[in-house]
């Protein structure tokens, strides 16, 4: 079923795997090299594939990333939002 983003949930190993697949692209966009890069929370949205909105812990800060996984399993980084905190809501950007 297509629609808006679902509820915020704790990150899983599968969510961390998605983050790991786009880490180099995230670092390229932000111009930063993240020693710590740990998925913390996420929300998902079913479209023609799935969008994942993920809060990632990167040292003393947090970033939000949107990752798209198509129905064939291909993964692509859609966007990055820096300057987040542990408590900032996971909202589409």
2.60.40, 3.10.450, 3.30.70, 3.90.320: CATH of 9-84: 3.10.450
Q: Let me know: does 23 contact 34? Beta carbons within 8 Å.
A: yes
The DSSP H or E segment spanning 91 is none
Query: What are the extents of the domains in the chain?
Result: 9-84
Sheet holding 49-58, edge to edge: 9-10, 38-47, 49-58, 61-69, 75-84
pLDDT tens for the 93 residues of the chain, in order: 456 999 999 999 999 999 999 999 999 999 999 999 999 999 999 998 999 999 999 999 999 999 999 999 999 999 999 999 999 999 999
Q: Let me know: does 31 contact 11? Beta carbons within 8 Å.
A: no
pTM: 0.94
CA distance 27 to 44: 22
The DSSP H or E segment spanning 92 is none
């Amino acid at each position: 079923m297509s629609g808006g983003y679902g509820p915020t949930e704790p990150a899983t190993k599968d969510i961390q795997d998605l983050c790991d697949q786009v880490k180099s692209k995230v670092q390229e966009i932000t111009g930063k090299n993240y020693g710590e890069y740990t998925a913390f929370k996420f929300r998902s949205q079913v479209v023609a594939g799935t969008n994942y909105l993920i809060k990632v812990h990167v040292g003393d800060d947090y970033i939000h990333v949107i990752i798209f996984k198509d129905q064939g399993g291909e993964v692509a980084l859609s966007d990055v939002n820096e300057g987040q905190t542990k408590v900032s809501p996971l909202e589409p950007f």
